[in-house]
Amino acid sequence: MTKLILFLLSVAGALASRGVAKLSPVTRNGTTLLVDGKTWKAVGPNVYWLGLDENVTPPAGEPFYAPTKASYPTKERITEVMATVQALGGTMIRGHTLGVSTGNPLSVWPEARVVNEQAFDPIDWAVYQAGLYGIRLLVPLVDNYDYYHGGKYNFLRWGGFDLNKNRDENNPLVQQFYTNATIVDMFKDYIKTIITHRNQYTNLTFAEDPTIFAYETGNELLGPIWGDMNSPADWVQEIAQYVKSLAPQKLVVDGTYGINKTHLSIEEVDIFSDHMYPVNNTKLQEDIGLVEAADRPFFAGEYDWVGGDTANLQSMFQIIEENPAVAGDTFWSQFGHNAPDCDNYVYHSDGLSLQYGNPGNTANQNSRIQLIRKHFIAMSQGKETAPDEALPAVPCPAPTSPSRR
pLDDT tens track for 3-28: 433 333 333 344 344 445 589 999 99
When comparing pLDDT for 136 and 2, which is higher? 136
Task: Please give, one letter per residue, the 3-state secondary structure of the chain.
Answer: CHHHHHHHHHHHHHHHHCCCCCCCCEEEECCEEEECCEECCEEEEECCCCCCECCCCCCCCCCEECCCCEECCCHHHHHHHHHHHHHCCCCEEECHHHCCCECCCCCCECECCECCHHHHHHHHHHHHHHHHHCCEEEEECCECCCCCCCCHHHHHHHCCCCCCHHHHCCCHHHHHHHHCHHHHHHHHHHHHHHHCCECCCCCCECCCCCCEEEEECCECECCCCCCCCCCCHHHHHHHHHHHHHHCCCCEEEECECCCCHHHCCCCCCCEEEEEECCCCHHHHHHHHHHHHHCCCCEEEEEEECCCCCHHHHHHHHHHHHHCCCEEEEEEECEECEECCEEEEECCCCCCCCEECCCCCCCHHHHHHHHHHHHHHHHHHHCCCCCCCCCCCCCCCCCCCCCCCC
Mean pLDDT of 350-362: 97
Mean pLDDT of 225-235: 97
- For residue 19, the model assigns a pLDDT of 45
- For residue 405, the model assigns a pLDDT of 53
Mean pLDDT of 184-188: 98
- For residue 403, the model assigns a pLDDT of 73
Percent of residues, the chain, with pLDDT higher than 70: 94
pLDDT tens track for 95-122: 999 999 999 999 999 999 999 999 999 9
- pTM: predicted TM-score of the whole model, two decimal places: 0.95
- For residue 387, the model assigns a pLDDT of 87
Mean pLDDT for all residues in the chain? 95
Percent of residues, the chain, with pLDDT higher than 90: 93
Mean pLDDT of 166-195: 98
